[in-house]
Amino acid sequence: MHRKILILTLLSLMALSAAAQVSARKAIGSDFFTHAKRISNLKVWDDKVFFTISRADKEKNNYATDLYQLIDNRPVKIAADVSDYFFRDSGIIFRERKERAGGEAGAGEEASTALLKLGDGFGEADEWLRLPFRTSQIEWIEKDVFFYTAPYNHNPDKSSSYHVYDELPFWSNGRGDVSGQRSHLYYYSRGESRLLNDTLASVSTPVLSPDKKTLVYTLKPAWYGKQPDGALLVSLDAASLEKKEWKLFDKATYGNITFINNDEIVLTINRSLERNYIENPGIYRLNLRSGKLTTVYDGSIYAIGNSIGSDIGGAGRAEITFDSRGLRFVTTDVDYAPLVHLAWENAAVTHLSKGRLSILEYQPYADGFLAIAQDEQQGAEIYFIDKQGEASALTAINKPVFDEYNILKTIEIKFRSKTGRELNGYVIPPANRQPGRKYPAILDIHGGPKTAYGTVFFHEMQYWANEGYAVFFTNPTGSSGRGSDFSNIRGKVGTVDYNDLMSFTDAVLAQTDFIDPDRLGVTGGSYGGLMTNWIIGHTNRFRAAASQRGISSWLTFSNTSDIGYSFTHNYWGTDLWKNGTQLWDASPLKYADRVKTPTLFIHSEQDYRCWVVEGLQMYYALQYFGVPSRIVVFENENHELSRSGKPLNRIKRLEEIKGWFDKYLKN
């Protein structure tokens, strides 16, 4: 009896101690992302492991990226201000960031590219090569012989005081004015450059074969005015410079070009435009000698790449590697991103990583793999994945910081959609939750729509949860991770996805006991902003909303966005002249006279993806109809504000959203 009492007493003390430790942790604030580090550019050279670490600097209001080597599982900084790098001549080569001022190649202004080299010992970097022109990508044959791409603008009428547009697209998010801009391919040999494409054509993603004899790239044929759909695949003999164009499918786009050997490549081909269907790209194998094209995998379930959203994790390269039985790549599986193997023989997919690790980048290493990954609610670290798929962390770059803060675990919610499909989502409970108490909650909707939320750390959600909100999120129909049929919502935006979001909200309220159904908020960015605009015009169940960089009218979006006409056709199969009524009926702006929900709008002046007019129209309408509303427009920011905007602007964005919800959900 005494022993039982002693055990119970010890358990109670342990529970109290654990609770005290949790409560002693710091609350996640709006600036937490400035403490987290992004790890990227993982590479292996001579059994040594290298990578870059990026961090936000609040004082300078910018970001810094440095090069590190992993030594005894410790990150050791070896060079500052390095974003990408490669290995040549027994050293590490990287581009000098502070180059001489100059215009674009072809504009008649001076431009140059300086490449620096870190030699043995990785001390001071010396100039390895200076080129009298600007380069984007280089594919090396020798130090003085290589292919390179460079920007070019065929429109000489450029000025800092005005813009001249004569093409479509005429602007691009994150790049600004792109009217007349092309990417040219050149062959450089011992001091002389030779242009390899038509002046009005544009080249991208050149890849050189292992034996340095064949270059493969994609080509947008010469155009003036509206950019053509799709692209051509081109192979080029590195000795003769003779080219062969491969128009494998009508209106196809090509990506992830990787040489298997000197004669064969694997690549992804997206045929959505040709098939009038939103699909994952298929994986193909092309023999450049025989011309034989083989379908390896149709992409019906698994697509190459991690599309799990995160505002601290960073994007990784969609790398393809090979073994004797097939190929390996990172994919999105519902709500996490594993490493998988695809067999040549029967396209069977096998998971190479266990658990719920979401992998950003990977490299074959020893008898397994190195990976930059996020594990549940932790920051990114470098892991080793063994032959059994078990992962062990090699670094603790983010862990010490994350251990100091009150990071809340997700609760899975399963529900059935109106179409009968079983789906899932998650709830992050509010910090310091008290039994029997009801809390306000925020529905957070991801962008895309062909992306996904997972259980990886998401700063904005953890910030709101630490401020006393429950946060809930799901992947409605149209999201990635469940195959092409699930993501294909052509002609259905605002219908089946809206129903999924409402069914999920019902399930969250039914399966939790700490959310106040009368104090719900809704927010989202891009597609999430579109759905927020749509929701407030179709239900009054949300007491407040924060719409971020969203679409309000398909009519204006399709004729102002940098991707407007292609994206609108992809999701609706029409344009305003063929079926303007359908696009207007699907536009949130049409239903603005029904809105009763106080709404905050967040937009950026240089967001050419969802131009500021999309926010202004909804804001104007709500003001006109007397609905409490506010718009915050950030200068010198674009569509990526929440992920890579200036640190102080990212903090301001989060505080604006919190302040709006505090006003309407806590008072």
Q: Please list the active-site residues.
A: 526, 639
For 99, other C-beta atoms within 10 Å of its C-beta total 13
The encoded tokens of residue 449 equal: 């729509």
Measure Cα distances from 265 to 274, 343, 577, 606 in Å.
23, 16, 41, 38
Of 478, 423, 468, which Cα lies nearest the Cα of 445? Answer: 478
* Those residues with Cβ within 8 angstroms of residue 403's Cβ, 6 or more apart along the chain or in another chain: none
Strand runs (DSSP E) across 346-390, as ranges? 349-351, 357-365, 368-375, 381-385
Residue 530 CA to residue 2 CA, distance in Å, equals: 63
Q: Compute the distance between CA of residue 209 and CA of residue 260 in angstroms, rounded to an integer.
A: 9
327 in Cβ contact with 333 (< 8 Å): no
**Residue 521 pairs with which residues in a beta bridge?**
442, 544
Number of other residues whose CB lies within 10 A of the CB of residue 259? 19
Structure tokens at 204: 């991208």
Enumerate the β-bridge partners of residue 471: 428, 442
Tell me the C-alpha to C-alpha distance, in Å, between residue 244 and each of 219, 289, 293, 294.
11, 11, 15, 19
158 residue type, one letter: K
Q: Is the sign of the CA dihedral 68, 69, 70, 76 positive or negative?
A: negative
446 C-beta neighbours (distance < 10 Å), count: 27
CA 660 from centre of chain = 27
Helix axes 564-572, 576-585, angle to 10 degrees: 70
Q: What is the DSSP string of 9-73?
A: HHHHHHHHHHHHHHHHSBPP-TTGGGTS-EEEEEEEETTEEEEEEEEEETTTTEEEEEEEEEETT
Q: CB of 319 within 8 A of CB of 361?
A: yes
CA atoms within 13 A on the CB side of 120: 1
Tokens of 432: 């310091």
Exposure class string for 1-19: b at 16+ Cβ within 10 A, else e: eeeeeeeeeeeeeeeeeee
Q: Print the SS3 string covering 507-541.
A: HHHHHCCCEEEEEEEEEEECHHHHHHHHHHCCCCC
C-beta separation of 653 from 645 below 8 A? yes
C-alpha 504: how far from chain center? 25
Say how far apart CA 642 and CA 446 lie, in whole Å. 12
In the structure encoding, which two tokens stand for residue 479, read together?
A: 């999201």
For 45, 283, 385, the CA distances from 364, given in Å and listed in that order, are 12, 21, 9
Give the closest residue to 316 by CA, choosing from 400, 382, 396, 390. Answer: 382
